[in-house]
Structures are given as C-alpha cells and as structure tokens.
Amino acid sequence: MEITELTVHELQEKLKSKELTVSEITRAYVDRINEKESDVNAFITLLTDEAIEKSKEIEEKINNGEINSELAGIPIGIKDNICTKGIKTTCASKMLENFVSPYDATVMNKINSEGMINLGKLNMDEFAMGSSTEHSAIAKTRNPWNLNTVPGGSSGGSAAAVAANMVPWALGSDTGGSIRQPASLCGVVGLKPTYGLVSRYGLVAFASSLDQIGPITKDVKDSAILLNLLVGHDEKDTTSLDIPKQDYVASLKNDVKGLKIGVPKEFFAEGLNEEVRKSLEKAIEKYKELGAEVEEFSLDIAKYSLAAYYIIACAEASSNLGRFDGIRYGYRTPNYETLEDIFVNSRSEGFGAEVKRRIILGTYVLSSGYYDAYYKKAQQVRTLVKKEFNKAFEKYDVILTPTSPIVAFEAGTKSNNPLEMYLADICTVSVNVAGLPGISIPCGVNSEGMPIGMQLIGKRFEEGKILNAAYTFEQAVKFRKNFKPNFKK
Amino acid sequence: MQVSREELLHIAKLSNLKINDEEIDNYRLNLEEILNFADIVKNANVDELDETIGANDNFNVFREDVLKEFEDREALLANAPERERDMFKVPKVIQ
C-alpha cells in the first residue's frame, strides 16, 4: 500500500516497528502533493521544502531520544485562518494576502511541540464565509472525487487535501458546518468539537460564539487521536473551558449495543436528495443490525436555526471584521487622501463580495430599528434550539441526520445565489447554534460515485459517544476500503 | 421586507464600505431575499425565553490585569502597510 494511503494510526505503527522513517513519510507526502496539487488546488501556501528540512531534524531528535511523542514526524495541513508564526495566514482574502502572523495559534503550539510537520496552509472560503470554497480570493479548490465539483466549505482545502492523500490529516474550523460539510462532500471524517473544548486563540475570528477548530481525518480513530491533542483550557481564550480531559481513543469500543439513536424526521424533509435519503436509511438499518435502538422523533428546529444562524453569525462578523482598517496590518488602498479614505477604500477593495454581503447583513440586523426584530429574536431562538436539543438528549444518546442534503455540486452552479448556498447548511448549523459536538462520516456513494455523509450529534462534551458510534459504523461498513476518489474530470 | 437604495447606502456607510452604483441593486436584492428568509425567526414561539449570549454559561471570566511584554515587536510592526520607526503611519488627521 502507498504510504500516503495510510491513516495516522497506521503510520504510527510503522514508525514504531521501524518499517518507515519520518523522512520517508514526509517525502511520500511531498511527492503526492507534487503529483496531485495541480488538479486539486487545495493549498494557499506550500511548505514542502520546509517540511523536508523539518523531517530530517525531527528524525534526528527521535534517534537521539530528544522527542518521544507518538505524533513526532507526522505531517499535517492547516486551514489558512489558523495563525502560524512566520508563515502567511491569508484567510483566502486579498485583505490578508501578505499577512504574516507574529504568533502561533494555541493549537499550533500544541502541534509544534509534538514535533509534527506542517505541509502547508489550506484553501477556504474567504474569512470562512461559504459552503463551497468558491469564495476564496486566492485559489479554486476542486473535489478529488470529481474535479468539476466543489469540495464544500469553508474548510474545502482541508477536506480535499485529506481526500486526495496530500496530507494525512488537517485542521479545519467550523462556524456553521465548515468542517462537517466539506468532509461529507469529500468522503472523509470531520469533527466539530463542543464549543469551548478547543482554544480559539489564533483562529481569525468570524463569529466568536460559534467558531471551533477541529480535525479532518481519513478515519474516526485519527479524529480521536487529533482531538486528544487539541483540547484543553487556554487562558488566552476565556471561552475555553477548564474541564477534566478525556481519552477519546479509549472511547472507541466498536460496540453500539443498546445505544439510543434519535432520528429527527424534519431533517429528512423536502430538499433532501433522494439518493442521500436512501443512503442514510441504509445506515440506520446498519445501526439496528449492530444492536442500536433507533427511533424517529420530531425536532422542528432546522429552519429556525438556519435563519437565526445567519443573523447571529453575520452580526458577529460585522463586528469582528471591523478591525480591518488598513492601518496595523492587512491590505491598504493606494487611493486615499484622508484617514477615512483609508478605512473605506481598504475595506471595499480588500474584501470580496460575500464578505461584504455578510457585513452588510450583520450591520443591518444590529442597526437601530431592526435589533429587536432580528438579532434579539435570533438570540431567543438560540435558547429554543438549546432547549429542544436538551429535551432530545433526555431520550437519546446520539442524534443522526444527513450532513448535507446534497452531494458535491458542480463549480459555478450556486455561487451567484447566496440564499441557495446558505440552504446547503440546513443540517449543520443547529449544532453550532447550540454549541454541541457533531461528526460527519461517509456512509455511502450515490449513483455517480460521489460520497454521502452522515452526521452524528452528541450532548455537550460527549464527543466520546459520537466518536464510538461513528467508529462502530465505520468498522462495519469499511467505506475507505470500498470507495476511493478517482480524480475524474 | 423591502430595502431601499438609501437604506442600503446608509448601512454600507455604517460598515465603512463603499458600494458602487452598479452593485447597489445586487446587494439590495440579496439583502431582501436573505431577510425574507430570516423572517422565520419572527414566527418562532420564543416570547418567554431569555436570549442566549454564548454557547457556554460562564460569562465574565476575570483575571488579574498583568502586563506582559510581547516577545517580538518587529514581527508585529512588520505587517504595517506604512510605518515610520516603531509607529504606524496614517495621513494627517488634524490640519
């Protein structure tokens, strides 16, 4: 088997048994990137030369006994809204095209201190606003399963790079589905942790009460391994919670007997593609076979959540993106006389259309006269969504839904209709609105061979339960063994 | 929900954004369409409910106000579009 097809836990075994060395692994990934990147365009900044240098250094440190982490020498790719010291962090925006972060995000400190190797920064929708990665101002990423289709978004570069075996795993960020939806469209595993589980320090803010960083991986065990590293309280992010650490790998029992799974019928309503529905129904049957107790129930919050999500996320974005003024960092217009010209022209020239659209919507819903009708109502809807989920979790351990109502769509077919693009997030946003953990795993392919994703939602801090449910399904179905992207054009 | 051109220009001004004449209608219609969808929240039965401020219940996390020196001043200033010595440079504000 090719080195780049292996999961991280398989790489770890081969490193331990000395079948492979760190520099062989890095070399294999660099070769794979050189072969596939021109088709997929997942990266904004490639660090292949640096990675090869670093792999030699890490190998020496391992041989000298200076590092003994099991993650030492494992490569990774990083979404380009996570700050990396001395390396560009562009957010796929003209605004930050030349921005070099003066510090590392907390998750990068963790990754670097394990001796992991950064292969590069990955493409995304500008400032993480989008569901197809088409809103990137820098690169056009394509889906390895069909190069005419989008990889999803906003972490589309991360999901496409993992699917194309150009990185063994990657970091993404998820504000309304931006890890899970691209994972679904690219046939890989994406986990959005509970809000507050992972530090957001150094993640360029989009909507601060919704954003979380999380892993995009080839399989569920890798997701648990990377999550183990990422979690923990950070004094630099006061919303990160100081709670006892769990071992997520230990939660993978390959057993769902007696597990109570709730299936909310509203998530299977109109707008759900027929083939996606059939694939999900098959997955439900599989869970029953495996001994889980599956029951349909009513959770009528999807549409309210989506509307509340776009109000809250845009309101927060309009405030967060106020910092881009052309003074301390970021794009500055060449056309100015006064200070106000600098603010207005830098922002108008530096932001893309979707970012401006969301700033305008956010400013609108916060402006006097509309605050109560939109923003306040949305915050109340948020309470309703939390309450409805709490009620559901009194009965069920895990909630099962589609991740996306559709498979990967052709590039250019939705990018001119903002609302239609927003509707693609209908299954994922409620998880962010309520601050819950959610995972997307592949559950099958459609008649054209495009992957279909299943979402499992858990109670706050019960990542262990959804990881185990996902793992048990994955072991039974063996998606990765049966289906591979073929880079068809 | 109808949004007039004047209203859109007012919001753009509040956002420190300049919208060209030919873009105004496009942004205006997008905003109308999205607001029409977002109107669903008005039908939600939430009158008795508090507003959720964040996903967590812990607000107002306090700490001592301790000064910490950032280790790399030059890296901070290096991103400035225009600088003079250790300062960010802007056009003259007071005539």
Q: Does A347 touch chain B (CB under 8 A)?
A: yes
Tokens 């400190």 locate to A109
Contact A11, A25 (CB under 8 A): yes
What's the confidence (pLDDT) of residue B58?
66
- Choose among A268, A366, A252, A270: nearest CA to A316: A366
Contact between chains at A435 and B56 (C-beta distance less than 8 A):
yes
Please state, in angstroms and rounded to a whole number, the distance separating the CA atoms of residues A279 and A277. 5
Per-residue three-class SS string for chain B: CCCCHHHHHHHHHHCCCCCCHHHHHHHHHHHHHHHHHHCHHHHCCCCCCCCCCCCCCCCCCCCCCCCCCCCCHHHHHCCCCCEECCEECCCCCCC
Contact A3, A28 (CB under 8 A): yes
Contact between chains at A419 and B72 (C-beta distance less than 8 A):
no
Please state, in angstroms and rounded to a whole number, the distance separating the CA atoms of residues A322 and A80. 20
- Choose among A231, A235, A181, A174: nearest CA to A207: A174
Residue B45 has pLDDT above 90, yes or no: no
**Rg of chain B's alpha carbons, rounded to an integer?**
22
Domain spans, chain A: 3-260
Contact A459, A465 (CB under 8 A): yes
| Average pLDDT of every residue of chain A | 96
What's the confidence (pLDDT) of residue A346?
98
What's the confidence (pLDDT) of residue A270?
79
What's the confidence (pLDDT) of residue A255?
98
Burial of A282 (0-12, 13-18, 19+ CB in 10 A): middle
A293-332 confidence digits (pLDDT tens): 999 999 999 889 999 999 999 999 999 999 999 999 999 9
Is position A154 annotated as part of the catalytic site? yes
Contacts of B12 in chain A (CB under 8 A): 360
Please state, in angstroms and rounded to a whole number, the distance separating the CA atoms of residues A203 and A196. 13
Rounded to the nearest angstrom, the minimum Cα separation between A262 and chain B is 22
Mean pLDDT of A162-185: 98
Sign of the torsion formed by the C-alpha atoms of B31, B33, B34 and B38: positive
Which chain B residue has its CA at the smallest distance from A326's CA?
B81
User: Chain A window 20-59: which residues touch B at a Cβ cutoff of 8 Å?
Assistant: none
Contacts of A241 in chain B (CB under 8 A): 56, 58
| Average pLDDT of every residue of chain B | 90
Contact between chains at A383 and B30 (C-beta distance less than 8 A):
no
Amino acid at A149: T
Residue B43 has pLDDT above 90, yes or no: no
User: Chain A window 123-182: which residues touch B at a Cβ cutoff of 8 Å?
Assistant: none
Whether omega for the bond prior to residue A348 falls within 30 degrees of 0, making it cis, is: no
User: Looking at this predicted complex, what is its ipTM?
Assistant: 0.94
A19-75 confidence digits (pLDDT tens): 999 999 999 999 999 999 999 999 999 999 999 999 999 999 999 999 989 999 999
A61-110 confidence digits (pLDDT tens): 999 999 989 999 999 999 999 999 999 999 999 999 999 999 999 999 99
Contact between chains at A339 and B91 (C-beta distance less than 8 A):
yes
Superfamily of domain A3-260: Amidase signature (AS) domain (3.90.1300.10)
A286 membership: H or E segment, kind and range: helix A274-289
Instruction: Name the active-site residue from A132, A154, A173, A305.
Output: A154
Residue B48 has pLDDT above 90, yes or no: no
Instruction: Name the active-site residue from A136, A155, A158, A178.
Output: A178
Ordered domains of chain B (ranges, CATH): 5-43 (1.10.20)
CB-CB: which of A328, A359, A418 is closest to B80?
A: A328
A112-166 confidence digits (pLDDT tens): 999 999 999 999 999 999 999 999 999 999 999 999 999 999 999 999 999 999 9
Rounded to the nearest angstrom, the minimum Cα separation between A79 and chain B is 20
Percent of chain A scored above 90 by pLDDT? 95
What's the confidence (pLDDT) of residue B53?
76
Contact between chains at A307 and B41 (C-beta distance less than 8 A):
yes
Token digits for A121?
Answer: 């920064």
- Choose among A38, A25, A102: nearest CA to A71: A25
Amino acid at B74: E
What's the confidence (pLDDT) of residue A227?
98
A235-258 confidence digits (pLDDT tens): 999 999 999 999 999 999 999 999
- Choose among A96, A92, A86, A83: nearest CA to A122: A92
What's the confidence (pLDDT) of residue A342?
97
- Choose among A302, A306, A219: nearest CA to A267: A302
B61-70 confidence digits (pLDDT tens): 888 999 999 9
Rounded to the nearest angstrom, the minimum Cα separation between B64 and chain A is 12
